[in-house]
Amino acid sequence: MRLASCLLVAAIVMGETKDLKLETWMRDLPEQLKDMPFIYLAIPGSHDSMTYGITRSSGLAPDAEPILHRLYPLFRGTIMRWTITQSLDTWQQLLIGIRYLDLRLATKPGTEEFFFTHGLYAEEITGALRQVKDFVDTHPEEVVILDLQHFYGFTPTDHQRLMRLLINMYGPKLVPRHLDLRSVTLNSLNRLNQQVIVVYRNESVYTMTEFWQPQMLPSPWPQQDKVSGLLRFLDNIRRHPGTGFVHQAVLTPTPSFIVLRWTSNLRAKCAAPVVKEVLPVLAELAPGPPPPGRAGHAPLNVVIADFVDMADAVFPRTIINLNNKLLQNRDVVYHSYG
């Protein structure tokens, strides 16, 4: 039944979005939605966005589990199959509608450069960050969220260097911290030519007004390796009306989970079940402001997944298409948030 549901959702999405241009979907939203709070829109994102840069020559990073130091020399290929979560590079992800990138960073001995990481070192960060800059420069009405989730091997000086790099890279394109996020809309950002939101999940952020604090975009980790557990987690989410939110539609394999599926990979055993069984459930939800109190499901804002290119990018298509539900709710569309 779940597979049938997935196929039905895919058919509906492909039918309803046959004219959807993923590359410019924010630009192409109806004007009513561009005047809605940004935190009440449905936005597709990728989980562990930069793992496409992991190769067979990648070394172990500071966030590697201790056991990997013994296993990696012997089972390099297998470990890579369970570490890589995306197959498209940054530019390609942006072209298929991804507007939130989940970044994990690490320092490396012997160099002052910063690297993306997920147990193994991926690429040095400036190439991907420049792809984001090139994208927003050539797509003036699109907004991209960079969520710097984890920092491994960082000193306070490293944080200052990284923040300065981001400010130099994006400059006036950065969306500064706002006291009331409900005042931030696509139209207001477009008027100011601001297109890059940086969420910086470290205490260093409190010294910089250019970046968003972590509580402005909560991103709780489900830490589930079964679809049933992930669905229960998502069903119990509640959110504050004045903040954004990240729904993590991801399965996290435990060591025992991987051992039992040693010859397979994360795409087949974690990402595919999410597309088949979780995405149809998400498609029944909607974006918008949270209801009063704690009643009902938390409306979607940012939703992230692994291997976002699967099934002709059915994941970003589905999430983007949910914004159409806002047009059916006149109380939401015409409510004043200013």
The DSSP symbol for 48 reads T
- Please compute the mean of the pLDDT values over residues 173-200 and round it to a whole number: 97
What pLDDT score does 297 carry?
77
CA distances from 285 to 104, 125, 164, 288, 290 (A): 29, 35, 39, 10, 12
Q: Percentage of the chain surpassing pLDDT 70?
A: 91
235-271 tens-digit pLDDT: 999 999 999 999 999 999 988 898 889 889 999 999 9
129-139 tens-digit pLDDT: 999 999 999 99
User: Rounded mean pLDDT of the chain?
Assistant: 91
27-48 tens-digit pLDDT: 999 999 999 999 999 999 999 9
Residue 4: band (very low, low, confident or very high) from pLDDT cuts 50, 70, 90: very low
What pLDDT score does 262 carry?
84
Could you tell me which residues come within 8 angstroms of residue 21 by beta carbon, excluding any fewer than 6 positions away? 28
Residue 333 has pLDDT above 60, yes or no: no
247 is known as an active-site residue: no
What pLDDT score does 68 carry?
77
Structure tokens at 36: 């809605």
Residue 173 has pLDDT above 80, yes or no: yes
What pLDDT score does 145 carry?
99
Residue 283 has pLDDT above 50, yes or no: yes
Candidates 69, 118, 247, 297; catalytic one: 118
Residue 15 has pLDDT above 50, yes or no: no
- Please compute the mean of the pLDDT values over residues 161-182 and round it to a whole number: 97
37-88 tens-digit pLDDT: 999 999 999 999 999 999 988 988 898 888 777 777 878 888 899 999 999 9
CB 192 within 8 A of CB 128: no
Residue 18: band (very low, low, confident or very high) from pLDDT cuts 50, 70, 90: low
CB atoms within 10 A of CB 256: 9
Taking the CA atoms of the chain, what radius of gyration do you get in angstroms? 19
* pLDDT greater at residue 216 or residue 78: 216
What pLDDT score does 1 carry?
39
Residue 332 has pLDDT above 80, yes or no: no
Residue 292 has pLDDT above 70, yes or no: yes
- Please compute the mean of the pLDDT values over residues 121-131 and round it to a whole number: 98
The DSSP symbol for 281 reads H
* pLDDT greater at residue 155 or residue 260: 155
CB 149 within 8 A of CB 104: yes
What pLDDT score does 312 carry?
97
Candidates 47, 159, 178, 247; catalytic one: 47
47 is known as an active-site residue: yes
Residue 5: band (very low, low, confident or very high) from pLDDT cuts 50, 70, 90: very low
CB 213 within 8 A of CB 187: no
Residue 194 has pLDDT above 70, yes or no: yes
What pLDDT score does 74 carry?
74
* pLDDT greater at residue 334 or residue 138: 138
